[in-house]
Amino acid sequence: MGPELHLQMITYRAIELREQADNYRLAREAQEDKKDHSPEKRRRGLFGKIIPA
C-alpha cells in the first residue's frame, strides 16, 4: 500500500470517527435535555431541602 493511499484511508477514518462522535454528542445532549424538562425534576436549593419533591 502506497503512502498516499494510507494517508487517504487515515483521513477518511478520522472523518468517520468525528461524525460518529458528533452524533453521539447530539444524542446525549437531547437525552439530557429531555430529562431536564421532565415533571419529576428535583427541587434544588433551600426549598428543595425544606419541601421534599
The three cell numbers locating residue 41: 425534576
Name the pTM for this structure. Answer: 0.55
User: What residue has cell string 498516499?
Assistant: 4
18 φ/ψ angles, rounded to the nearest 5 degrees: -65, -40
CA atoms within 13 A on the CB side of 13: 6
The three cell numbers locating residue 39: 415533571
Tens-digit pLDDT profile for residues 9-49: 999 999 999 999 999 999 998 888 877 665 555 556 666 56
The confidence band for 7, taking pLDDT boundaries of 50, 70 and 90, is very high
Return the domain boundaries, the chain.
1-34
Rounded Cα distance between 6 and 35, Å, is 44
